[in-house]
């Protein structure tokens, strides 16, 4: 009887872990929709962007209904670790520190950091030019990590962290910060959406970084399924079509 009970518990546990991968037909996804053009809230309240189209296409491949919640950036990984979500997609750069806590899909996007300053600034073109400056960043992003290293090394006068990229940009506009350290595609999308903002981006200032979809370390089945779906989307041209929609190039 004890052996039967133990076997039953094991089966229940395996089924519960399996349901994490497929959510009984639903893929529960968390994002932080302040990272245009990857994820943002439309005027009608819907979630749009490159990442949103990509994860929905992945859901189509897997035969799952994709349900996406917009939550705070610093709550994304904790919510995933607590099994509140099956996956996180939010322009999350794959880093060794994050890989210690979660698994990542194969990279799906290559990015790079840039600096955003006032239009009339002429003495900032690289990270080496930030001595004595105040940098604004979105908290817990690679822009934050890079600026934090500069601040700890005494190269920055001050570092201001904000919940959203838009808040960091506003800090430069009103003059409480000199520069935003942010991903280049995000800076370009912000400037396109806000053509009257007195800001400019300085181009690439760092080595390339790669985005991945974060998945709980215990959910290896979903990791394999998402990687297979990414491969299929790239092979059948869907990935290229989504990319062209949001970045105007193949």
> DSSP states of 77-129 as a string?
HHHHHTTS-SEE-SSPBP-HHHHTTSEEPSP-EEE-EEEEEETT--S-SSGGG
Per-residue pLDDT tens for 93-124?
999 999 999 999 999 999 999 999 999 999 99
Average pLDDT over residues 235-247: 96
Q: Which residues contact 212 (CB under 8 A, 6 or more apart)?
A: 92, 93, 94, 104, 105, 106, 107, 108
Find the mean pLDDT for residues 53-57.
98
Query: Can you tell me the mean pLDDT for 186-199?
Result: 95
Looking at the predicted structure, is the pLDDT value of residue 243 above 70?
yes
- pLDDT tens digits along 62-83: 999 999 999 999 999 999 999 9
**Residue 10's pLDDT band (cuts 50, 70, 90):** very low
pLDDT cut 70: percent of the chain above it: 90
Residues 6 or more apart whose CB falls under 8 angstroms from that of 207 comprise 112
Among 10-24, 34-48, 207-221, the least confident range? 10-24
Backbone angles phi, psi at 2, to 5 degrees: -65, -40
Taking a C-beta distance cutoff of 8 angstroms, is the pair 55, 66 a contact?
yes
173 versus 21: the higher-pLDDT residue is 173
How many whole angstroms separate alpha carbon 133 and alpha carbon 212?
A: 31
Who's near 239: CB < 8 A, 6+ residues apart? 54, 57, 108, 230, 233
Distance in angstroms between the alpha carbons of the first and the last residue of the chain:
62
Tokens of 16: 């519960």
Percent of the chain with pLDDT over 90: 88
Burial (CB count within 10 angstroms: exposed 0-12, middle 13-18, buried 19+), residue 148: middle
What is the pLDDT confidence band of residue 248, given thresholds at 50, 70 and 90?
A: confident
Handedness of CA 146, 148, 154, 159 (dihedral sign): positive
Question: Parallel, antiparallel, or unpaired: how do β-strands 209-211 and 109-111 relate?
Answer: antiparallel
Per-residue pLDDT at 215 exceeds 80: yes
Q: Where are the alpha helices (DSSP H) in 23-95?
A: 50-62, 76-81
CA distances for 16 relative to 19, 83, 189, angstroms: 5, 11, 41
Residue 46 pLDDT > 60 = yes
In sequence order, the 6+-apart residues with CB closer than 8 A to the CB of 196 are: none
pLDDT digits (tens, 9 = 90+) for 134-181: 999 999 899 999 999 999 999 999 999 999 999 999 999 999 999 999
- Longest Cα–Cα distance of the chain, Å, equals 79
- The residue with greater pLDDT, 20 or 162, is 162
Average pLDDT over residues 39-48: 95
DSSP state of 47: E
Query: 119-143 as b/e, with b when 16 or more CB fall inside 10 Å?
Result: eebeebeebebbeebbbbbbbbbbb
202-227 mean pLDDT:
96
122-135 tens-digit pLDDT = 999 999 999 999 99
Q: Which domains does the chain have, with CATH numbers?
A: 2-110+210-247 (3.40.190.10), 113-207 (3.40.190.10)
Give pLDDT, residue 235: 98
């Amino acid at each position: 009887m004890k052996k039967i009970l133990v076997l039953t518990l094991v089966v229940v546990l395996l089924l519960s872990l399996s349901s994490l991968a497929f959510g009984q037909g639903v893929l529960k996804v968390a994002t932080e929709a302040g990272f245009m053009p990857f994820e943002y809230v439309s005027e009608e309240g819907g979630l749009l962007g490159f990442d949103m189209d990509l994860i929905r296409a992945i859901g189509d491949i897997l035969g799952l209904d994709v349900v996406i919640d917009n939550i705070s950036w610093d709550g994304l990984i904790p919510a995933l670790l607590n099994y509140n979500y099956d996956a996180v997609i939010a322009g999350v750069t794959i880093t060794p520190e994050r890989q210690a806590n979660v698994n990542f899909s194969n990279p799906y996007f290559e990015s790079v950091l840039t600096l955003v300053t006032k239009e009339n600034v002429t003495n900032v073109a690289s990270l080496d030019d930030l001595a004595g400056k105040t940098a604004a960043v979105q908290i817990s992003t690679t822009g934050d990590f890079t600026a934090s290293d500069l601040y700890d090394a005494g190269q920055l006068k001050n570092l201001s962290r904000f919940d959203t990229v838009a808040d960091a940009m506003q800090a430069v506009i009103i003059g409480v910060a000199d520069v935003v350290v942010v991903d280049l595609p995000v800076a370009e999308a912000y400037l396109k959406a806000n053509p009257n903002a007195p800001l400019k981006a300085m181009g690439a200032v760092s080595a390339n970084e790669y985005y991945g979809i974060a998945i709980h370390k215990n959910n290896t089945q979903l990791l394999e399924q998402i990687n297979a779906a990414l491969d299929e989307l790239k092979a059948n041209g869907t990935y290229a079509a989504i990319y062209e929609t949001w970045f105007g190039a193949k």
